[in-house]
Every structure is written in C-alpha cells, then in structure tokens.
Structure 1
Amino acid sequence: MDFEEFYRLLAGQVIDDVNLFTSKLREWEDYYNYHRPHGALADQTPYERLRQIAQDPLS
C-alpha cells in the first residue's frame, strides 16, 4: 500500500482526531483496493486480480 499517496490526498490537512483519521484511511483503502487500477496488475484493481486468481489459480 502506498501511504505516501494517502497523505498526498489529504493535501496537507492535519487530522488530530483518531476516529476521523481512521475513517479517511478506510475510505482510501476502499478506493485503493476496489476502484484504483494498478499498472503492476495490468490496470486491474487488487480486488479484480484476487477474483481472477481465485477463479483460475493457474493464471
């Protein structure tokens, strides 16, 4: 996971509330794993790649 990318998305915003920080991190993790294409995965999301491997473990 690219935490630097997460912190850049905060655009310098300082979050000193642990619950708000956790919420923002979960939102970003959802985006990162389910919606953001990854070049290393042939522009699939990690979730898409996981499903592909689960369906065809030899791929």
Structure 2
Amino acid sequence: TPQLNGKVERSHRSDQQEFYQLFSYKGDVDLDAKLDEWERFYNFARPHGAHNGQTPYEALRDKLQ
C-alpha cells in the first residue's frame, strides 16, 4: 500500500547500507548464515528511530500487551 511504501523503502536502504555493502560475496561466504545473523540483529538488537529507540521486537511486544 502507499502508506507502507516509505517504510519498506527505508528498510531496503538500511539493508543496503548496513548489510550488503559490508560483504564482498565470494564462494567462501555463507550468505544464508550472514542474512540470518543480520535479521536477528535488526529485529532484536538494533534500536530504530521509528520505534522511539526500541527494537522492532520490543515495539511489537509492547503493542501486543
């Protein structure tokens, strides 16, 4: 939806700037493992400005309580 478009684009930019640019992909890089690690960090450890400094997990947890 148009309302989510900006949020999705921001997420893609974060992925590009904070994940993809850090690696030069060669045969010895386990991309799946690195992506899993990034996803855990992004959702459970990295504070987000859109969530007032909370992680996405913390924001969701608080919303569901």
1:14 partnered with 2:25: yes
- Percent identity for Structure 1 against Structure 2: 50
Q: Segments of 4+ in structure 1 off by > 2 A?
A: 15-18
> Higher RCO, 1 or 2 (CA under 8 Å, sep at least 6)?
1
Equivalent residues of 1:33, 1:47 under 8 A apart: yes
The two structures have a TM-score, normalised by structure 2, of 0.68
Question: What stretches of structure 2 of length at least 5 have no aligned partner?
Answer: 1-10
Superposed CA RMSD: 1.8
Map residues 21-32 of structure 1 onto 2, 5 A cutoff: 21-32=31-42
The two structures have a TM-score, normalised by structure 1, of 0.74
Question: What stretches of structure 1 of length at least 5 have no aligned partner?
Answer: none
How many residue pairs were aligned? 52
The structural deviation recorded for 1:15 is 3.6
Map residues 1-59 of structure 1 onto 2, 5 A cutoff: 1=11, 2-4=14-16, 5-10=18-23, 13-16=24-27, 20-55=30-65
